[in-house]
Amino acid sequence: MIADQKAQLRREITQRIALLSPERRKEESDDICRTLLPLIPPTMAVCGYAPLPSEPDITPLLSALIKQGNALYLPRYENGTVVFLRVEDLSKLVRGNQNILEPPQDAPPLKESEADTILVPGRAFDGRGNRLGRGAGGYDAWIAAARENNKTMQCIGIAFACQLVDDIPTEPHDQRMDSLALPSGYRAVKGE
């Protein structure tokens, strides 16, 4: 059953990430940030995320995007769904219900049609752009709706090297990434 395969893979990836030293996490996170910044022009509207301790730390990239003038949006969870709100100062983020840093509730919302690039965290990715999330489906639902309104939006999966696997079990609702940003660099995905 796919749900069981996904649960098993989540456990394996959690163990892999736990084995990374703090120094290795920082090194890989810095590599990802250095790779992505020159690829994102100041005119782009970017959806990012406030990283959890088990995710690549893209905070330096987010700060650089704000500094270079990008419209930056981060997710907020409202009534079980993901919405992206504008962020102009990372120090103004607040802890949400899931203890994740989020924009304040009164921050300006993103219109799905305005997103140019979305930086997507995940538990694992494969070379075809398939993504394994945490299991709530919030990102998949948001990406599916945004793609209906914006056919040019690019989804970039962000991952430590140990999160790249040969194959992700998928279901019809799972959204594929257009490219991956890994410590080894940026790469477009192969597709089917």
Q: Which residue has the higher pLDDT, 66 or 185?
A: 66
> What's the pTM?
0.93
In the prediction, which pLDDT does 191 show?
A: 58
User: Is pLDDT at 192 greater than 60 in this prediction?
Assistant: no
Alpha carbon distance 129, 177 (integer Å): 5
Alpha carbon distance 158, 17 (integer Å): 14
Give tens-digit pLDDT for 135-166. 676 888 889 988 888 889 999 999 999 999 99
Q: Give the residue extent of every domain in the chain.
A: 2-188
In the prediction, which pLDDT does 63 show?
A: 97
Question: CATH class for domain 2-188?
Answer: alpha beta
Looking at this protein, which amino acid is placed at residue 59? T
Here the contacts of 186-190 (C-beta below 8 Å, separation 24 or greater) are: 186/35, 186/36, 186/39, 186/156, 189/127, 189/128, 189/129, 190/127, 190/128, 190/129
Alpha carbon distance 48, 10 (integer Å): 22
**Average predicted confidence (pLDDT) for the chain:** 91
Listed residue (38, 31, 39, 37) closest to 62, CA to CA = 37
Listed residue (161, 187, 158, 189) closest to 176, CA to CA = 189
Q: Say if strands 131-132 and 71-78 run parallel, antiparallel, or are unpaired.
A: unpaired
Give tens-digit pLDDT for 40-83. 999 999 999 999 999 999 999 999 999 999 999 999 988 778 89
